[in-house]
Structure 1
Amino acid sequence: MEVKKGGVVSKLLEHVQIPKMFRAKQIFPRPQIMPRDIPAVIFAELSQEKFSNQIMSGMNIAITAGSRGIANVDIITKAIVDFVKSRGANPFIVPAMGSHGGATAEGQLDLLAGYNISETSMGCPIKSCMETVLLGHSELEKPVYMDKLAYESDGIIVSCRLKPHNAFRGPYESGPCKMMTIGLGKQAGAEVVHSDGMGKIGQNIPASAKVILAKAPILFAIPCIENAFDETCKIEAIHRDDIMKREPELLKYAFENMPKLLVGECDVLVVDEIGKNFSGTGVDPNITGTFSTEYASGGVKVQRTCFLDITECSHGNGLGTGLASAITKRLFDKLDPEKMYPNCLTSTVLKSAGIPIVVATDKEAIQLCIRTLNNADKDNARIIRIPNSLHIGHIMLSEAYYRDVLQGKYEGLFVEGEPESLDFDNAGSLITMISNE
């Protein structure tokens, strides 16, 4: 598809004025486990008798590693590996990411390597395959699958992040149960759990998890939770017998520590980068309000959204593009359907992989959003700019918010500079930095 600067679209947008914007800082509660302290926290958790006694000398222990950009994931995974070794057992890492990585064993290894999880850095084997074992059927009559290599181990440790999901609500969202049923289920298991759509996935996950806990060698889970600044704030080991009870309790804690855009609503949201390292759908709709289904809600109230680029570590998996009003040609040219579409075929959620309007430059993406606003003051558009949906401590806001922020209307939001015009280079790329830090 040819998208060129200077064409008809460019001419239609060239006179759209982008308002001045100012830098702002958002302050949230910040419980944190420092990276240097993570190994000690994990050793303390796992040294409890109910966990340590399950790992015996000579056992082959599978440790899960997912596809998300989890804070300190390499440190967390290595600490679990080292603890297993300290018990005289033989750890190995299993990619637990459903159909991600292009639904191939090699693609999943590549994803882990991008998070510094390799055999060299972890000091143990990484065993990747897409072959599964049928464990049985859930109470909802769904087949339940598990990664063959993990199933054949002497024990499985479920390491994952626990957080709100981006497309549905329920007691079990993103956490140990999802990692067991979808992550370890590989392509086959992920497809089954998603088969009824996001309206039923909240039932399918716990139903399938019960089968796995009954028939697979799960030892325990050790989820981590992150604070509003994408920092590890809690790590807790959960015995297999306690997972179904404890996970919903920890989900409430995760919700309480989520960040948000404190102004609550805007006309246009500008996202500098999307990526699988930020969210399964490129941007976290719990922040941006751009949900791919009707089964979840929240985030900022917004009319138009543009995405400007995608992270290199996403390897072209631009899920989330369909949630934007416009994207740039730069982002479009980096998309790889072979990486994107397996997720959609598995999840049955097609909206997030759609292609919105594609424009030539960053400047035109913002201008298009402003021009197409309905029932809004386009000359004084309320615009929020964020670097991505995971790091929103520093943002930019248009001049329409300036007086209210100065006067303290939004608790936790502070002005960091005066309104100024955004700078673009000759190619139309946005060069004004969000933060001076």
Structure 2
Amino acid sequence: MEIKKGGVVSKLLENVYIPKMFKVRQIFPRPIIESKNIPEVVKRELAQKKFSDKIKPGMNIAITAGSRGVANVAIITKSIVDFVASKGASPFVVPAMGSHGGATAEGQLELLAGYGLTEEYLGCPIKSSMEVKMIGHTEDGREVVIDKNAAEADGIIISCRIKPHNAFRGKYESGIMKMMAVGLGKQVGAEHVHEQGMQNIAKNIPIIGNAIIKHAPILFAVPCIENAFDETCKIIAVNSDEIAREEPKLLQEAFVNMPKIIVGRCDVLVVDEIGKNYSGTGVDPNITGTFSTKYASGGVKVQRTAMLDISKESHGNGLGVGLSNVITKRLFDKLDLEKMYPNCITSTVLESARIPCVVANDKEAIQLCIRTCVGINKKAPKVVRIPNSLHIGHIMLSEAYYDEMKNYPDLEVESEPEYMQFNEEGNL
């Protein structure tokens, strides 16, 4: 597909006004566990008798690692590995990421390596396989499968992050139950969870998750919660018989700690970079308001969204582009459909992988969004620019917001309004 600068599209956009932008700091509460303290926090949690007594010398114990860009995931995982080894057991890590990584064992290893999770760093094997084993049935008679290596271990520890999901609402969203039902289920299990549609996923996750607790050797979980700055703020161990009761409480904590775009509304949202390391759908719609289903809502109210690039950690998985109105040729050229489409096939949600309008460069992406907005002041459009959906402590706002800053006590102006600088190719 030919996408070139200087064609008809470029001529239609060349006179669209792009406003001056200024930098702001968004002020959020910042509870934090410093990285250097994480090993001690994990050790203190697992040293409690009800957890440590479950780990016996000689046991083979599987520890989960997911596909998300969890803060300090390498340190947290290694800390769990080290504790298990200190008890005389033999730990190993299993990728628990459903169909991510292109639904291949090699792709899932590649994702883990991108987060620093390697056998050399962890000091234990990583057993990556898409093979699953049927371990039992749900209360309503459905087969339940999980990763074969984990199923045949003497024990399983669920390491994960708890946070609001990007496509549905329920008592259990992204967290322990989902890591078991979808992550450990690999592609087959993930499909079982999603096959009745997103309208039923909030019901299916605990049904399947509780069946896994019943039929698999789940010892306990070690979930973390992050603050508004993508930093670890809580790590807690949860016994297998406590997961169903405690996870909903932890999810509410995660909601409280989520960041947001404080101005609440804009005409155009510009996202510098999307990626699986930022969210399962490239951008977190809880921030950007760009939801792929009608079963969740929230985030900034926006009319048009431009996505400019994709992170190297995504390895071409541009899931989430379909939630944008415009992308750049640079982003488009990096897409690997073999990495993207397995997610859609498994989840039954196709919207995230649809290709939006593609233009030659960053400047035209922003201009196309502004030009096609309706009912706005084109001479003073309200534009918000964020680096990605995970790190929004510092963002940019267009000059139309400048005189409104007194209305936002949790925003701190960091620069005067200036025009964004584009290079000869039209990129920022």
Fold-level similarity (TM above 0.5): yes
Measure the CA separation in 1 of the matches of 2:348 and 2:410: 39
Secondary structure in structure 2 of the residue aligned to 1:380: coil
Q: What is the total number of aligned residue pairs between the two structures?
A: 428
| Residue of structure 2 aligned with 1:417, choices 396, 408, 415 | 415
One-letter identity of the residue aligned with 2:284: D
Secondary structure in structure 2 of the residue aligned to 1:305: strand
Equivalent residue, structure 1, for 2:197: 197
Equivalent residue, structure 2, for 1:57: 57
Equivalent residue, structure 2, for 1:381: 381
Alpha-carbon shift at residue 292 of structure 1 (Å): 0.2
Measure the CA separation in 2 of the matches of 1:424 and 1:257: 35
**Contact 1:5 / 1:360 at 8 angstroms: preserved in 2?**
yes
Equivalent residue, structure 2, for 1:298: 298
Q: TM-score, normalised by structure 1?
A: 0.97
1:348-427 alignment runs, 5 A limit: 348-405=348-405, 407=406, 409-427=407-425
1:32-431 alignment runs, 5 A limit: 32-405=32-405, 407=406, 409-430=407-428
Secondary structure in structure 2 of the residue aligned to 1:273: coil
Secondary structure in structure 1 of the residue aligned to 2:267: strand
Alpha-carbon shift at residue 139 of structure 1 (Å): 2.6
Measure the CA separation in 2 of the matches of 1:131 and 1:74: 24
Measure the CA separation in 1 of the matches of 2:413 and 2:210: 49
CA deviation vs aligned residue, 1:286-315 (integer Å, no higher than 9, x gap): 000000000000000000000000001100
Measure the CA separation in 1 of the matches of 2:136 and 2:354: 35
After the TM superposition, which of the residue ranges 130-139 and 281-290 deviates more from structure 2? 130-139
**Contact 1:140 / 1:204 at 8 angstroms: preserved in 2?**
no
Secondary structure in structure 2 of the residue aligned to 1:169: coil
Measure the CA separation in 2 of the matches of 1:338 and 1:93: 25
Measure the CA separation in 2 of the matches of 1:135 and 1:46: 27
Flag as ranges the 4+ runs of structure 1 deviating above 2 A: 139-143
Alpha-carbon shift at residue 143 of structure 1 (Å): 2.2
Secondary structure in structure 1 of the residue aligned to 2:389: coil
CA deviation vs aligned residue, 1:240-267 (integer Å, no higher than 9, x gap): 0000000000000000000000000000
Measure the CA separation in 2 of the matches of 1:144 and 1:263: 45
One-letter identity of the residue aligned with 2:336: D
One-letter identity of the residue aligned with 2:402: Y
Measure the CA separation in 2 of the matches of 1:153 and 1:215: 13
Measure the CA separation in 2 of the matches of 1:139 and 1:91: 31
Measure the CA separation in 2 of the matches of 1:255 and 1:362: 33
One-letter identity of the residue aligned with 1:263: V
**Contact 1:172 / 1:206 at 8 angstroms: preserved in 2?**
yes
One-letter identity of the residue aligned with 2:309: D
One-letter identity of the residue aligned with 2:13: L
One-letter identity of the residue aligned with 1:68: R
Measure the CA separation in 2 of the matches of 1:401 and 1:198: 37
Measure the CA separation in 2 of the matches of 1:35 and 1:397: 31
Measure the CA separation in 2 of the matches of 1:230 and 1:201: 26
Alpha-carbon shift at residue 414 of structure 1 (Å): 1.1
Measure the CA separation in 1 of the matches of 2:421 and 2:151: 55
One-letter identity of the residue aligned with 2:162: L
Alpha-carbon shift at residue 213 of structure 1 (Å): 0.6
Measure the CA separation in 2 of the matches of 1:411 and 1:49: 46
Equivalent residue, structure 2, for 1:435: none
Measure the CA separation in 2 of the matches of 1:121 and 1:330: 33
Equivalent residue, structure 2, for 1:29: 29
**Contact 2:24 / 2:414 at 8 angstroms: preserved in 1?**
yes
CA deviation vs aligned residue, 1:338-396 (integer Å, no higher than 9, x gap): 00000000000000000000000000000000000011111110000000000000000
Secondary structure in structure 1 of the residue aligned to 2:157: strand
Runs of 5+ in structure 2 lacking a partner?
Answer: none
Alpha-carbon shift at residue 136 of structure 1 (Å): 2.5
Alpha-carbon shift at residue 411 of structure 1 (Å): 2.8
CA deviation vs aligned residue, 1:275-296 (integer Å, no higher than 9, x gap): 0000000000000000000000
Secondary structure in structure 2 of the residue aligned to 1:274: coil
CA deviation vs aligned residue, 1:377-431 (integer Å, no higher than 9, x gap): 11110000000000000000000000111x2x1131111111001100000011x
One-letter identity of the residue aligned with 1:379: K
Secondary structure in structure 2 of the residue aligned to 1:37: helix
Runs of 5+ in structure 1 lacking a partner?
Answer: 431-437
Equivalent residue, structure 2, for 1:13: 13
Alpha-carbon shift at residue 138 of structure 1 (Å): 1.6
Alpha-carbon shift at residue 187 of structure 1 (Å): 0.5
CA deviation vs aligned residue, 1:199-248 (integer Å, no higher than 9, x gap): 10000000001110111000000001000000000000000000000000
**Contact 2:135 / 2:151 at 8 angstroms: preserved in 1?**
no
Measure the CA separation in 1 of the matches of 2:309 and 2:134: 40
| CA RMSD between the two structures | 0.6
**Contact 1:30 / 1:227 at 8 angstroms: preserved in 2?**
yes
One-letter identity of the residue aligned with 2:128: S
CA deviation vs aligned residue, 1:6-43 (integer Å, no higher than 9, x gap): 00000000000101110000010000000000000000
Secondary structure in structure 1 of the residue aligned to 2:272: strand
Alpha-carbon shift at residue 140 of structure 1 (Å): 3.8
**Contact 1:320 / 1:352 at 8 angstroms: preserved in 2?**
yes
One-letter identity of the residue aligned with 1:125: P
